[in-house]
Chains A and B, each alone.
Chain A
Amino acid sequence: MDLLSPGTGLIVWQLFVFVLLFLLLSKMAWKPILNSLKERETSIQQALDSAEKAKLEMASLKSDNEKLFKEAREERDKILRAAREAGSRLHDQAQMEAKKNADKIIEDAKAIIRTEKAAALRDVKAQVALFSIEIAERLMKKNLSNDKAQKELADSLIKDLKLN
């Protein structure tokens, strides 16, 4: 039964040594060990967190880039379209103006031709009148030697006048 009866001395030693051991170890061993463990765990956690954050940032950056790219492409298309439209509008305008100018030139030319023609006709008429007077003078000189012939002439002149 000695096996089951605790010795006083051993109890005293055990309580003393164990409590002392606890105090020494907590101050000099557990505190630094547990603190470093905690520190390391937090730093690992932080590293993991920041890696995750960086990944997310990269993803958002990539999508941002794509968005920018898309926008740039749209902008380019818009500009191109506008340029094309402007080009064709200018072209049309130029064409129209050219046509208008051409029409005007033609019109002017026609007017000039008309006036020139009228002037020419006037000249021709004057020439013809001169020629006619000359011819008539000569004819009269030759034919109006008798009365009959004078009368016939007067008649025909009257007839002509009427026709005119």
Chain B
Amino acid sequence: MKKPFLMTKTTFLTVLFVVFAGFSNLLKASDEGAAAEEINMSDVIIHHVMDDHQWHFTDHLVLPLPIIVYSSENGLDIFSSSNFFNEHHQEVEYNGYKLEHNHITLADSGEAVLDLSITKNVAMLLINAGLLLFVFLSVAKAYKTNAGKAPKGIQSFLEPIVVFVRDEIVKPNIGNKYETYLPYLLTLFFFILFGNLLGLLPGAGNLTGNIAITMSLAVLTFLITNLSGNRNYWSHIFWTPGVPLPLRIIILPVELIGLITKPFSLMIRLFAAITAGHIVLLSLLGLTFMFHSYTVGVVSSLFVMIITLIELLVAGIQAYVFTMFTALYIGMATEEHGSH
């Protein structure tokens, strides 16, 4: 399942590269105005996949978001992000704070402040959490009202996914003690899945493609894995049994690095997969605006459609992969008897 998908993606990226190469040659030949727009486009794309202090739907529809900052000098301050912009959408200082490239600093000293603002991604995070709560509480309710009957509605749609996570991801990787970790892994799976899918909506923030989000999830995986690690697990790391003494000394640092690389790979994988998908989609859409051409618009729209379908697949696969690896690491940490 995964391999053909990767191949498809590679093929598409190759096609994309060829298209880009061809267009960039065209651009060199054309006037410099187009070149200037291309630079703008990359800014637009990066801006879109990153976090922001306001929710920018279109140039005329911008949702201001609450700013929550704390500094030892000024204490806690809460105000709307619209205060940072004048009527010409230019960034201005407000109340001694300055917003520059999405970083809030103190205007006088230029020192950074603790920024706990409800940014676009925090808003997405809250929407995602709210949606998860709403959906799964109603599913849980359906189990009560529908007790002893066949599932129906959203309950019957989500039940196979819950059972899939339980039977195909958690049980085989963790084994007997899977029930302890199942609620966490279900939350993780559906958080990533819903986040990925919400991120594909037009105007939505790139929640699961944000490195802060993936890092937090990876840190939680790291903590759970190592806090539930048993004697067997730690003895494998610090004093690998069945290996000659000199090798044990070499293995020790490798194992210690391994502790970090496992969650690190989780963090990078999810971030890269989702952000890359968004960048590809935006680049294809951007082509239309770069060339001011209907033909390019039609062709790139077709590509966008196909890539969007692939992104739907990626949304599921990445949720599966993150959960599966977390379950695998927990399984390795709680395994009773080593294979040696």
Binding site for B on A (CB under 8 A): 2-15, 17-22, 24-26, 28-34, 36-37, 40, 43
Contact across chains for A12 and B116 when beta carbons are under 8 A apart = yes
Question: How long is the Cα–Cα vector from A33 to B49 in the complex, in angstroms?
Answer: 35
Nearest neighbor of A15 in chain B, beta-carbon distance: B216
Contact across chains for B119 and A30 when beta carbons are under 8 A apart = no
Interface of B is mostly: helix
12 pairs, CB–CB < 8 Å, chain A vs chain B: A6-B211, A7-B115, A11-B215, A13-B116, A15-B219, A25-B136, A26-B184, A28-B140, A29-B133, A32-B144, A33-B143, A34-B166
Question: How long is the Cα–Cα vector from A106 to B187 in the complex, in angstroms?
Answer: 117
Q: Which of B23-31, B76-84, B120-128, B331-339 contacts A (4 or more CB under 8 A)?
A: B120-128
Contact across chains for B212 and A18 when beta carbons are under 8 A apart = no
Contact across chains for A2 and B101 when beta carbons are under 8 A apart = yes
Contact across chains for B143 and A18 when beta carbons are under 8 A apart = no
Instruction: Point out the residues of chain B lying under 8 angstroms from A13, CB to CB.
Output: 116, 118, 122, 125
Question: How long is the Cα–Cα vector from A25 to B131 in the complex, in angstroms?
Answer: 12
Instruction: Point out the residues of chain B lying under 8 angstroms from A33, CB to CB.
Output: 136, 139-140, 143, 162
Question: How long is the Cα–Cα vector from A159 to B48 in the complex, in angstroms?
Answer: 179
A7 touching B187 in the complex, CB below 8 Å, given contacts A2-B101, A13-B125? no
Asked whether any CB of chain A lies closer than 8 Å to the CB of B182, the reply is yes
Determine which of B68, B129, B166, B182 lies in contact with A21 in the assembled complex, contact meaning CB atoms within 8 Å.
B129
Question: How long is the Cα–Cα vector from A25 to B126 in the complex, in angstroms?
Answer: 14
Question: How long is the Cα–Cα vector from A95 to B102 in the complex, in angstroms?
Answer: 131
Question: How long is the Cα–Cα vector from A21 to B188 in the complex, in angstroms?
Answer: 10
Instruction: Point out the residues of chain A lying under 8 angstroms from B325, CB to CB.
Output: none
Question: How long is the Cα–Cα vector from A33 to B118 in the complex, in angstroms?
Answer: 32
Question: How long is the Cα–Cα vector from A43 to B210 in the complex, in angstroms?
Answer: 44
Interface of A is mostly: helix
Instruction: Point out the residues of chain B lying under 8 angstroms from A29, CB to CB.
Output: 133, 136-137, 139-140
Instruction: Point out the residues of chain B lying under 8 angstroms from A10, CB to CB.
Output: 51, 119, 121-122, 125, 210, 212-213
Instruction: Point out the residues of chain B lying under 8 angstroms from A24, CB to CB.
Output: 133
Residues from 211 to 256 in B contacting A, C-beta threshold 8 Å = 211-213, 215-217, 219-220
Instruction: Point out the residues of chain B lying under 8 angstroms from A26, CB to CB.
Output: 183-184, 187
Instruction: Point out the residues of chain A lying under 8 angstroms from B166, CB to CB.
Output: 34, 37
Asked whether any CB of chain A lies closer than 8 Å to the CB of B7, the reply is no
Q: How far is the CB of A144 from chain B (nearest CB, A)?
A: 147
Asked whether any CB of chain A lies closer than 8 Å to the CB of B39, the reply is no
Determine which of A9, A17, A22 lies in contact with B115 in the assembled complex, contact meaning CB atoms within 8 Å.
A9
Determine which of B49, B116, B163, B216 lies in contact with A37 in the assembled complex, contact meaning CB atoms within 8 Å.
B163
Instruction: Point out the residues of chain A lying under 8 angstroms from B132, CB to CB.
Output: 21, 25
Q: How far is the CB of A5 from chain B (nearest CB, A)?
A: 7
Instruction: Point out the residues of chain B lying under 8 angstroms from A28, CB to CB.
Output: 136-137, 140
Q: A6-B210, A10-B121, A33-B140 are in contact. List 13 more A-B contacts (CB 8 A).
A: A3-B275, A5-B211, A7-B115, A10-B122, A10-B213, A15-B216, A17-B129, A18-B187, A21-B133, A28-B140, A30-B136, A32-B144, A34-B162
Contact across chains for B183 and A22 when beta carbons are under 8 A apart = yes
Residues from 90 to 144 in B contacting A, C-beta threshold 8 Å = 101-102, 114-119, 121-122, 125-126, 129, 132-133, 136-137, 139-140, 143-144
Contact across chains for A8 and B114 when beta carbons are under 8 A apart = yes
Nearest neighbor of A34 in chain B, beta-carbon distance: B182
Contact across chains for B147 and A25 when beta carbons are under 8 A apart = no
Contact across chains for A2 and B50 when beta carbons are under 8 A apart = yes
Bitwise interface map of B from 290 to 301 toward A, beta carbon under 8 Å scored 1, else 0? 000000000000
Question: How long is the Cα–Cα vector from A12 to B215 in the complex, in angstroms?
Answer: 11
Q: How far is the CB of B146 from chain A (nearest CB, A)?
A: 9
Instruction: Point out the residues of chain A lying under 8 angstroms from B50, CB to CB.
Output: 2-3
Nearest neighbor of A36 in chain B, beta-carbon distance: B143
